[in-house]
Structure 1
């Protein structure tokens, strides 16, 4: 797929409810069901990051939230002011439905119970309400803009997270560099960036539409983060055991990287 095709790709036909139903399920034992167990891997990394006691502040920005809130369950325990920033209007509306407890909202209870179990927390219903209260803004963002949040900047933030978003938005590696720089600028000096990306993927399909990804190696992602003014770069890689015959995973990468970094003090 050419850069021009990537440029004109849009999510105007994206079906948020179909995406959630297909990708976010729990097994009978309550463990999130996903190929290669990538969901338990992600949720454990997020739990460890927020429970580690190294993050400070009150304000967190999640860039590219999509229609999902599972990335923020552990964050809500420590950050009472969360902004969800998302390009696609349908995804923003899906998050709003969950916040307001609407009847047709996706049921995230199994995921909240699972994360609370990881943390040794019994009162998962209190966590659900804490997360609803913590998400104070759901706003539009365009990561390819030098000011991704536009008029609703609100920055800098103590923590900025972006889970499986920047690699999908980038046309190529140079564009990825610019996007990391744009998103990184929203982190305050001394603040933390949490970045999760696909490794060596070129495309993803939601079952109906195929979306492009820029092919990125772990070493390239690390360097892009450093070049954007970050230090103390640490990561965890989930290597997929097989690159063929992965039922339920409409994606052609080789694994995922979970990366944290601290923005250099000015």
Structure 2
């Protein structure tokens, strides 16, 4: 794992809406539809459907104001808490949650997941179900021992983190330190789901180049297991997007659990 001298997501000014428009929209020119949206959503759909990861509470700590992974989670968990490190992301999420004018539309994501579930006519119901399950959006601080201090959240049956560790960690030591903080939010025998990218060094957001921590499959497996997790599932999704906006080689989905 190594670092490069780009801007950092949680330190420098990050345009959360530009991020959504570039990597998660349904615009014709958006080339990341398979890599960023459909393939990871399909993987998580099958992971949750298998029934091994379930419970009452999910905590999501993901980059930007994205929610598409949670359309599957809301079928298996009653309570969802969103943790974000930037005020702009919190504002963008609240705009969507409260159906305010100008909110980013996730209709294409809810349409895709309901088709996977065989309920193509229930897109609006799916959107409402997810919004109802979201209990709180919390602005947190990675520098604090308790990320959410002074807010106290229940420990989660599952923590989902998509991309966050990749963009806030300048090196492997920081990745490990931050993973430990995320792990503190998980119940004994609870689960961790990581969605990340292999061998990336940067991503563009608007005109700005932001940092990605570069790592390979061996790196991520070693870190997760050495932090006391048992890996249950690991999947590599080969890159399909043709674009110089980001230099990752593949998307990964990893699930693991704590024995104690």
Determine the structure 2 residue equivalent to 1:140.
Answer: 139
Does 2:17 align with 1:17? yes
Using a 3 Å threshold, how does the CA distance of structure 1 residues 142 and 73 change in structure 2: closer, same or farther? same
Tell me, what secondary structure is at the counterpart of 2:223? helix
Q: 2:253 maps to which residue?
A: 258
Q: How many Å separate the matches in 1 of 2:160 and 2:72?
A: 12
Q: 2:239 and 2:6 mapped to 1: Cα distance?
A: 26
| 2:209 is the alignment partner of 1:210 | yes
Residues 1:7 and 1:210: Cα distance change in structure 2 (over 3 Å): closer
- What TM-score, normalized by structure 2, do the two folds share? 0.90
Query: Which runs of 4 or more aligned residues in structure 1 lie more than 4 Å from their structure 2 counterparts after TM superposition?
Result: 2-12
Contact 1:60 1:160 in 2 (8 A): yes
Could you say if the C-alpha distance between residues 7 and 227 of structure 1 is closer, same or farther in structure 2, counting changes exceeding 3 Å?
farther
Contact 1:144-1:182 at 8 Å conserved across structures: no
SS in 2 for 1:74: helix
Q: Distance in 1 between matches of 2:252 and 2:143?
A: 21
Give the SS at the match of 2:200. Answer: coil
Please give the residue correspondences for 1:221-260 in structure 2 after superposition, counting only pairs within 5 Å. Answer: 221-240=220-239, 246-247=242-243, 249-260=244-255
Deviation at 1:22, TM superposition (A): 2.1
**Structure 2 alignment gaps of length 5 or more:** none
Aligned to 1:93: 91
Q: Which protein has greater RCO, CA pairs closer than 8 Å, 6+ apart?
A: 2
CA separation of 1:84 and 1:8: change in aligned 2, threshold 3 A: closer
Q: After alignment, is 136-145 or 57-66 more displaced?
A: 136-145
Q: When the two structures are superposed, what TM-score results if normalisation uses the length of structure 1?
A: 0.88
Give the length in aligned residue pairs. Answer: 257
Change (3 A) 1:233 1:90: same
Say if 1:52 and 1:216 are closer, same or farther in 2 by CA, change over 3 A.
Answer: same
Whether the aligned pair in 1 keeps the contact of 2:38 and 2:112 (CA below 8 Å) is no
Gaps of 5+ in 1: none
- Where does residue 67 of structure 1 map in the other structure? 65
2: distance between equivalents of 1:7 and 1:103? 30
Other-structure match for 1:106: 104
What is the alpha-carbon root mean square deviation over aligned residues? 2.4
